[in-house]
Every structure is written in C-alpha cells, then in structure tokens.
Amino acid sequence: MNQEHPSTPRSGRRRGLVILLLAVAVASLVGWRGWVWWQARHAQEQAVVDDAEQRVAALEARVEALRRDQRAQTQRLQDAAATNRVLRDEVLGLGQRGALLEESVAKLTDPNRHGAQALRLDEVELLLSQASQRLDIARDLEGARRAYALAAGALDGVDDHRLLNLKQTLAQERIALDALGTGPQAAKIAQLDKFATSLAALGRERPVAPATGERTRWQRLLSPLVDVTPSRDSTIIAPSERTAAEAALQIELSLARAALERGDAAGFRAALGRIDGWMTRLWPDSPALRQGRVQLQALGRTDAVAEPAVLGSTLQQLRALRSAGLQLRPLPAPSAPGPESTEVMP
C-alpha cells in the first residue's frame, strides 16, 4: 500500500523561491556593481573632459598673450621705423645744412664777395629794386629818379670794363625816366586839384531868385514869405541839403584822387560822373558851371602815357650777370720790368 508524502511539493516550492531570491540577489549585485562601474567611468571621463577644457583655456590664454605680445612688438617696430625715418630726415637735414654752411663759408672766404665792388653791386641792385617798386606800386617818378641817381653813383664807383654795357643801359633808363616829366598820374592829380579849386570859387555863387520884373503879381506878394522856383529846376536851395551835398561832393573828389593814386581808371571815371551829377544839383546853369563840366569831361578823357619799355632792363641785366657767376676781380697791375727775368720750367 502506497503512502504519499505531503511535504515534497512544499520543499520544491521553497527551493525554487530560494533560487529565485538568489537570482534576484545576484542580479541586483551585478546591477549595482555595473552602476558603480558606470559612475566611476563617467566620473573619469568627466575629469578627462574638464582637464581638456582647462588645457584648452590655458592654451587660448597663452595664444591671446602671444597675440598681445605680437601687437606690442608690431607697434614697437612701427615706432622704430618712424623714429628711423625722423632720424633719416634729420640726417638729411644736417647734410643739407652742412652743404649750406660750406657754401656760406666758401662765400665768406671768397675775397671777391667781401670786396668793395661786390658791396657796391649789392647796393646798386637794392636801389634799382626800390626804383622799380616805386614805379610799379606808387607811380612815384621823383622817388624812382632819386633811386636811379644813387644807383648810377654807386655803379660809377665800380672800376670794371665788363660793366660798361650795364652803365650805358642805366644811362638810357635815366634819360627815358626824365622824358616822362611829372608823369600822367601827377598831371591828373594837379588837374583835379585845380578843378577842385575852381569848384570852391564856384561855390560862393548861390542860386538867385528870378528878377522882380519877371515875377507875377502873386509871386511878388508872397516873396517875403515863400520863394517860388520852377519845378523843373533840380538845384538844391535848402541850407541843410546844400551842406550835405557839398560834403558828398568833397567825398567824391577824395575818391577820385584815391583812384588816381592807385591807378584805378574805372573808379576814377565813375567818381567823375558822380561829381558831375552833384555839380548840376548844387549850382544852376551858368557859363562857369558849363566850363567846369567841360574841364571835368576833359579830365576823364585823358589817357595815361605808356611807360618806356627800357625801364627795368638794368636790374634784369645786373641780375643776369650775377646769376651767371660774375666775378669781379681787380685788374692785374702791370709788373715793372726788371733787369733780367728768368723763368723756371718744370
């Protein structure tokens, strides 16, 4: 007779449960160890990455420092190049100054430069330049004649036959300058002054009222109170207006004289036209007024006399001679004949 054991299935289930628990424990242990290993590996990789980033940052800092040093070196090189250029320019300037000093010393050591003849030539050139400036700027013929006379006196003191043409040219210039007389400008100024004097004489004549016989009855009745003049007459009668008009006329005369002095022909003619207008307003028609207007028109029609072309040629010739290297040396004095003359040939 068979007997069943009820504890056999239970022991099998327990064994399976133990095996399952052991498997879960082993799996948990393996998972924990794997997770620990992964954490360690990740921490190691992160440390490597951090180290690499630190190295890259250090390299970038070094590169930036090298760039700064490079820029500083470039700036220093540029400064050095600029300094070298300045030094080169200064050296060139010193060379030029040295050359100028050598030239000046050569001129100073030249006996002909400090001779009386060279000084006289400098004086002649200065006087001729002053004469030319007086003619070109101020039209001063008398001053130019005095400067030419002084230049001729200084040039006569130079005993050199090579300056004979220069002396002749200067004499021709003086003759041409004397032929101009007082000059057209001075003549015009004298005529203008004479005309102003005639205006002063004309200014003493005041506009007069019509004769009593020529007036009508009502004009004679009102003559003590009112002075009636024709409306077509533009002559200024009021004292205040005449004073202002005479002052304007004097201003126009001054402007005409100033235009003559500076050689402004257009301004001179314009001033004469304004003077003629003021004359017709200040004085009524009369023979003296008509004569003055004729003089004014003749003064405006006067043409300036052209200067001779020979003026200024002496200065140009002297400068050409000096720029060509004219060397004035005293003429060698003739040696006195001796009883015997010997010559040694090399």
* DSSP conformation letters of 197-242: HHHHHHTTPPP-PPPGGGS-HHHHHHTTT-----TT-----SHHHH
Residue 295: CB partners within 8 Å, gap ≥ 6?
191, 195, 198
Whole-number pLDDT of residue 259: 80
Characterize 71-80 residue by residue with b for buried, 16 or more Cβ atoms within 10 angstroms of its Cβ, and e for exposed.
eeeeeeeeee
Mean predicted confidence (pLDDT) in 258-282: 81
Whole-number pLDDT of residue 216: 67
pLDDT tens for 282-295 read 887 778 778 888 88
143 against 75, higher pLDDT: 75
Whole-number pLDDT of residue 224: 59
pLDDT tens for 13-30 read 888 888 888 888 888 888
Whole-number pLDDT of residue 20: 86
Calpha distance 123→151 (Å, rounded)? 7
Average pLDDT, the chain: 76
Mean predicted confidence (pLDDT) in 53-57: 91
pLDDT tens for 62-112 read 999 999 999 999 999 999 999 999 999 999 888 888 888 888 777 666 655
